[in-house]
Each structure stands twice: as structure tokens, then as C-alpha cells.
A and B are shown apart, each in its own frame.
Chain A
């Protein structure tokens, strides 16, 4: 595209179109598929664009032709009388073209649905994702039947199918990773299932796609598609309890997390913090972002989040816990070392 733009200079619309199209690739785009399901729906989308483009072109062609005819014979009588048998035939033919177009689209849709449903028969990695106001709880089932929990960061092995069971703790949310698959609503009291088979490695972005309250826009998650070996290593690491604090400041942070307010809502596996209301913090330092995609992960961002979550994500269910500067710093340091 860049080459085409250079050749055309500023004279044709191609550079403009190329500029617009750069918005289509990226980490949160259904036009840049990185998985089987997104690919299948994207091909259906292409078929629809081509089909409708052809129809639209035909309509414009007929319109142009008739305008041209009318201009040529302005003074003369209309060329087609309502009784003209050609008119009836033409309308029938036009109807036939429309039906044929719809049949092509319906057939395409049928085959895409079949391809999506076929994934259900495959052996799959079992994952549970629960929508909370406003973050995502994520659990993986290991081959030996344990569940390993994390939050706000979904890792998937490339070339395998993951069967994601979706539940909601409070209100309706919607699970959407456009590069990998379509949307699926997350409904309280009901389990929805979506299969995802990503094949391109990389980081993508998921987002809640159903308005769910004040911080709906800050209910995102990172998605990492890994090679199967890297995924297995990551999962094994997630399954381990938290590392013991390495220095005195971290030890002070740990005492505050387990003995203070944090431990009533958060779990740090292997410590006395056992609350389940908020995200699992056992390996929080290894995640890419804080607060469901609100801030990038860093010690400073952690400290800011702990000191004043309501200022960064107004309305979030995590309360501000009064801590003095040194304590907040110690907690941030401790959390940062939980990798």
C-alpha cells in the first residue's frame, strides 16, 4: 500500500484509502484475524462486501444508463411504456439477481457456522472466564484437574482450541477479543461457551462489549497467544504459590497485604491473604496492566492504584485503603515482585 501511495503521489484517492486502512490492522480489530473463528467470519465479511459492492455497482450502472437515456430523448415520449413486456422481464431478471445474491450469502454463512461449530468437537483446553464489575476472573483447568486462577490477562496456546466458559458474577457483560473470535455475551445465571483457536502469536486486546456500569470502558484485558511450550511453562508458573519476599521492604509490604484490608478481598496464594472478592494477586507483578487495562504495570502505577483507586477508575469496587506513603510504597514493591 505504501508503495502504491508513493507511485500515485497525491493525484488519486489511493493514498487516502491506504491511510484509512491502517486503522484496520492492530491489536483490537476484527479486520486483522489471528484465529480460525475470526478468520472465518472475516471471509464471510469479505464475501458480503464483494457481493454488496457488485450489487451497488449494478444499481449505479442502471441508474446512470437511464439518466443518459432520458437526457438523450428529453423531448421524445418515454422510451418504456408500463405495458412494455421488456419492463416486466427486466424486473423479473433483477429479482432473480437479488435472490441469487442472497443465496450466495446464506450459503457462505452456513459454511462459516459449520466451521465454527466443528471446533466444538475438538479436544480443547478448558478455561473459565467470569465477568465482574469491572474486571475479568480467568481460570485454567490443568491436565491433572486443578484450577489455576489469574485475572485480566488471558493466555492461549497457538494451534490449539480453548473452550471458554463464560459466567457473570453480577450483571451482563460481553467477552470480545476481535482478533481471535466474535463476541459472546456473559450472562448472570447462565453459562455461555465460546471456542477460540488462535494461530498467530502475539499480544491482542479484549474488551467488555456490553455496557455494564460506570467503568465499562475500563473493563479490558490483555490476550497473549503463545507457542504451546511457552504456554505450558507460563501455566505451570501461574500454578505456583507466591514467592517469599526477597527484602525487608517487600516483607513489610507482605505484612500489610496479608494483615490489612487487602487480604480480605485478594488472595496471594501461599500467604494469609485469602479473600476472593477481587483479582488474584499471586503473580500480579507479571501482568502487563493494572485495573483491567486501566494502567500499564509499574511500581509507580501500582502505588498510585493502591493509594487512590477511585481517582484512577472512579466507581471501581476496590476502596481506597488509607496507607501512609512508606506503607503504600512497600506494598507496591511487594506486589511488583510477585511475578
Chain B
């Protein structure tokens, strides 16, 4: 490579690295213990804008068996993917408080952090392009679904 090419390559690195911060995560245990206090809650942005939290939300959505009724991409019962309920705090309340008759209040059984993550995931679904949603579904195929686990080995 000539010198100019090398410099151009080096100049690109900061742009590539900028992508990494989208998945920044903190491994210490400062997990939220409470529901959002309102639209201005600073945690809302921290969860909704972070790809790691969003993808963890997709994972727990599968693990907790939400897909049994809502479908794998949340297009089943009460289409969650059409973006009609956008706000993270509204989604949080809907999951935590329960849906009259349809499901019990998950606040009693799911720790707050996972509700935050699932709300961020559902919030993000309508903004995803279909290709990424399909990819997401493919990635989660081998994962446990609620109380069923077929496993990757058939």
C-alpha cells in the first residue's frame, strides 16, 4: 500500500470505531429497580438508544414466552410491531401492569431491568427494516421459547 492509501485507511478507523459505541454496555450491576417515572426519565434514552439493551430485550421476549401469543416478531396478539404504541414508558406500563384478561402483570414475575429491555425492543421493532427483523428471528431460532425448548438439535 502506498503512503496516501495508508493515511486514508487510518483516517477511516475512527468512523468504523464509532459504530462500536452503539452496543456499549456496562457490566457492573447498576440495574434499574423501578418503572419509568415519565417521558423525561433519563433511563428511557439509555435503553432505547442502545443496541445491546434492545437485542437483550428481544432475547428475553423469547425466553419469557411472550412470542407464544404475540408471535415471534410480535405480530400476533395485539400487533406490537406496527408502532402504534411508540413510547417506551407506555410499553413498560403495558407489560408491567398486565392486560385485562390477556396476561397477568409481569411486574410480579419479571425483574425491572428485563421489562426495560423488552420495552426498548418493542419500541425498536417498528423502526427496524424487515431484513433486520428476519435476521433477528433467525438468530433467536435456537433459543428457548417460554417453557418450550426444542433445541438446535433435532
Residues on A facing B (Cβ under 8 Å): 128, 130, 137, 165, 167-170, 188-189, 191, 214, 260-261, 263-265, 267, 274-277, 308, 310-311, 314-315, 317, 319-322
Residues on A with beta carbons closer than 8 Å to the beta carbon of B147 = 267, 274-276
Instruction: Indicate whether B131 reaches chain A with its CB closer than 8 angstroms.
Output: no
Residues on B with beta carbons closer than 8 Å to the beta carbon of A130 = 151-153
Chain B proximity of A14: nearest CB distance (Å): 46
Q: Which of B23-31, B85-93, B120-128 contacts A (4 or more CB under 8 A)?
A: B23-31
Chain A proximity of B20: nearest CB distance (Å): 15
Q: Are B152 and A167 in contact (CB under 8 A)?
A: yes
Q: Are A264 and B110 in contact (CB under 8 A)?
A: yes
Residues on B facing A (Cβ under 8 Å): 25, 27-29, 31, 33, 59, 63-65, 108-111, 113-114, 139, 141-149, 151-153
Q: Are A169 and B33 in contact (CB under 8 A)?
A: no
**Given A128-B153, A165-B153: A276 and B144 interface contact (C-beta under 8 Å):** yes
Residues on A with beta carbons closer than 8 Å to the beta carbon of B114 = 319
A-B contact list, 5 entries, CB within 8 Å: A170-B139, A265-B64, A276-B149, A320-B113, A322-B111
Q: Are B31 and A319 in contact (CB under 8 A)?
A: yes
A165 to B110, CA, bound (A): 33
Q: Are A168 and B148 in contact (CB under 8 A)?
A: no
Q: Are B29 and A260 in contact (CB under 8 A)?
A: no
Residues on A with beta carbons closer than 8 Å to the beta carbon of B65 = 264, 275
Q: Which of B109, B141, B145, B152 contacts A191 (CB 8 A)?
A: B152
Q: Are A170 and B142 in contact (CB under 8 A)?
A: yes
Q: Are B31 and A320 in contact (CB under 8 A)?
A: yes
Closest to A313 in B: B27
Chain B proximity of A279: nearest CB distance (Å): 11
Q: Are A320 and B63 in contact (CB under 8 A)?
A: no
Q: Are A167 and B151 in contact (CB under 8 A)?
A: yes
Q: Are B109 and A314 in contact (CB under 8 A)?
A: no
A170 to B143, CA, bound (A): 7
Chain B proximity of A325: nearest CB distance (Å): 16
Closest to B64 in A: A264
Closest to B30 in A: A310
Q: Which of A167, A168, A260, A267 contacts B109 (CB 8 A)?
A: A260
Q: Are B31 and A188 in contact (CB under 8 A)?
A: no
Q: Are B33 and A322 in contact (CB under 8 A)?
A: yes
Q: Which of A274, A308, A319 contacts B111 (CB 8 A)?
A: A319
A265 to B106, CA, bound (A): 13
Residues on B with beta carbons closer than 8 Å to the beta carbon of A321 = 111
Closest to A274 in B: B147
A214 to B59, CA, bound (A): 16
Q: Are B109 and A169 in contact (CB under 8 A)?
A: no
Residues on A with beta carbons closer than 8 Å to the beta carbon of B28 = 310, 314
Q: Are A189 and B109 in contact (CB under 8 A)?
A: no
A264 to B146, CA, bound (A): 7
**Given A188-B142, A275-B147: A319 and B113 interface contact (C-beta under 8 Å):** yes
Residues on B with beta carbons closer than 8 Å to the beta carbon of A267 = 147
A135 to B107, CA, bound (A): 27
Residues on B with beta carbons closer than 8 Å to the beta carbon of A169 = 142-144, 151-152
Chain B proximity of A166: nearest CB distance (Å): 8
Closest to A188 in B: B142
A319 to B113, CA, bound (A): 8
Residues on A with beta carbons closer than 8 Å to the beta carbon of B33 = 322
Closest to B147 in A: A274
Q: Are B153 and A167 in contact (CB under 8 A)?
A: yes
Residues on A with beta carbons closer than 8 Å to the beta carbon of B144 = 169, 275-277
**Given A188-B142, A188-B152, A276-B148: A315 and B27 interface contact (C-beta under 8 Å):** yes
Q: What are the 3 tightest A-B residue pairs by CB atom distance, in nearest-first order? A: A167-B152, A314-B27, A276-B149
Chain A proximity of B26: nearest CB distance (Å): 9
Q: Are A320 and B146 in contact (CB under 8 A)?
A: no
Residues on A with beta carbons closer than 8 Å to the beta carbon of B108 = 260
A321 to B63, CA, bound (A): 16
A127 to B146, CA, bound (A): 23
Chain A proximity of B8: nearest CB distance (Å): 31
Residues on B with beta carbons closer than 8 Å to the beta carbon of A311 = 29
Residue of A130, A319, A321 with most chain B CB atoms under a 10 A cut-off: A319
A266 to B33, CA, bound (A): 22
Closest to B154 in A: A191
Q: Are B146 and A275 in contact (CB under 8 A)?
A: yes
